[in-house]
């Protein structure tokens, strides 16, 4: 067989191998995208909108999951859980007489629960990013509540908005106290990293 035929056969083999590799990578990328969309839900869409690029958003969300996996998040001991529940009930009662103070206390209480569970609480954006991995369907509520709380401190919020913030805080508070943490699992997060 002439040399040019061997070269042609080798080139065809290289092209076939390259096509197979591209197909495998593309299929894996689509699967990863679907897993991230399914896990993060509305948070996926928010990050895509924020970054303007699905690939950049997926990179950000995968990085969040990797950072979260390095944290030692623990369930609250029953005594601490009961204490938090009683404190929340008091804050809820206080809302009637002083909504502004109750919203501020709710913010502090959520932060305290996060701290005791093992989440870093030094920076709100980091808190929200970590929460988005474990509780992606309520993280936007948390952001909204925190935003309302900040506006309240500037005197820009009415009682209805304070009520909204309080409801949002309660949703996250209840999820943080939930000992089953069934919104996500460490194994599911590893699939996204």
Domain span at residue 86 reads 1-193
pLDDT for res 26: 55
Contact between 130 and 193 under an 8 Å Cβ cutoff? The reply is no
Band of residue 193 on the pLDDT scale cut at 50, 70, 90: very low
Higher-confidence residue: 188 or 98?
98
pLDDT in tens, 7-62: 878 788 888 777 766 655 655 556 778 888 888 989 999 999 999 999 999 999 99
Number of structural domains in the chain:
1
Higher-confidence residue: 73 or 187?
73
């Amino acid at each position: 067989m002439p040399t040019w035929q061997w070269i042609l056969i080798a080139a065809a083999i290289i092209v076939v191998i390259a096509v197979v590799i591209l197909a495998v990578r593309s299929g894996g990328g689509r699967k990863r995208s679907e897993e991230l969309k399914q896990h993060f839900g509305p948070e996926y869409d928010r990050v895509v909108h924020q970054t303007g690029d699905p690939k950049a958003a997926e990179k950000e969300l995968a990085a969040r999951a990797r950072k979260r996996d390095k944290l030692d998040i623990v369930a609250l001991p029953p005594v601490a859980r009961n204490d938090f529940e009683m404190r929340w009930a008091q804050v809820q009662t206080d809302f009637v007489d002083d909504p502004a103070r109750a919203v501020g206390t709710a913010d502090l209480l959520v932060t305290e629960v996060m701290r005791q569970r093992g989440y870093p609480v030094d920076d709100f954006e980091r808190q929200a990013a970590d929460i988005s991995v474990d509780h992606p369907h309520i993280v936007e509520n948390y952001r909204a509540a925190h935003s309302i709380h900040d506006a309240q401190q500037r005197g820009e919020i009415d009682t209805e908005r304070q009520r909204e913030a309080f409801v949002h805080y309660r949703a996250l508070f209840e999820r943080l106290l939930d000992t089953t943490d069934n919104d996500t699992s460490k194994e599911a997060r590893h699939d996204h990293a």
